Chain A
Amino acid sequence: MILSATAGHPGFLSPTGVEIAFLLVGLATFGAAVVTVTTKQLVHAALWLVVALGGIAVEYLLLTAEFIAWVQVLIYVGSVVVLLLFGLMLTRAPIGRSPDADSGNRWMALGASVPAAGALVWVVVDAFRTTWIDLDGPAQGSTKASGEFLFRNWVLPFEALSVLLLAALVGAIVLSRKDRQDRKDRKDRPDRSDGRTAGQVRPDTRARRTGPDRTERPAADREDNS
């Protein structure tokens, strides 16, 4: 699609080395992304996501944004994918092929995403047909330049971001600790004579006690082991 779209431009016939590298890495990234959203093995999807995110990091390097490339490697490849793998393990994801990885509306999803991709590629190529990025000169995204613009012009958003990270930390802890409270309630439940009436129990707690999935809930057992 890239080849046919830019074939009319004379610059395409003599691509620079950076363009060839960008094209090859971009094809690998796109292929890895497609495998990520189509594979039926959940752990393989996370591992192909590593390839896609690493490819994007290489694209950042080719665009001379070095600092963002290493941030991408550290945060996305290093922590986000590990978090996703932990999530897959904690939700007892099947190791082999799971036939129900895709929902029933995958053809509708295909019908939504493919025309969107076609229209957007057409618009983007038509808009930027004669636009070139000048990659010469000093690197615009080196660590020195990044530190300067980040701590000279963007200090306030940077500090606000730390507050957001703190809020996310507290929120994740709260979401995880809520279950402990529920388990305490569940332990109190067998003897009804502790003065606790039914009205004091929260509705969601009761939903969990009486639901049919109570027997097939392995998470509580797993937490007892840990």
Chain B
Amino acid sequence: MRFRSLFGAAAAAVVLMAAPGATAGASTLTLVHSEQVSLGAGTLTASFTDWPVRAGRSLDFTFEPAGGIEGRSGTLRAITPSGEPTALGIVGLDGEADMTLQRHPLARHAWGLDVVALPEEGWWRFEFTVHGPDGTSTATLPVAAGPKPGPPAALSWAVGMTPWAVALVFLARRWLKVRRSAVQAWND
């Protein structure tokens, strides 16, 4: 009994300490690198929360034209190293290759992509089309995605799935033993 009440008290303490944290604000954005490319007569500043960019590792991007995003709208088309346009992250959830530029949730003065990974290693091309008071202008931002971090995917999957495979073999053996004893009729 004592063990159980101690256990309950400990569990309660953990959850109670966690509760106020749950209502704390969301994470903040730390940009560690910026690049500038020309956009019509002006510039477009692209900033990154992780640099250098690695394939398969997610990061946040912000994009800000000189003069700000106020009164401007546009699209972003991301071209993979193998030349295919691809939709990225939650902004690209609808599958449209021309992603409508949205304000970044944590940097609402700029457009952005949050928690997006570039799945392929090599040179990506971000093609921007921006409509503003000075007409439509375009910009191209090359982004190099380095090698994927972490262990090879096959190894991760093999290790991650091993417990399930063991459980499956164990259950299958038990099942073959007991299933014959199960009565297979409407009334048993």
**A and B from one complex:** no
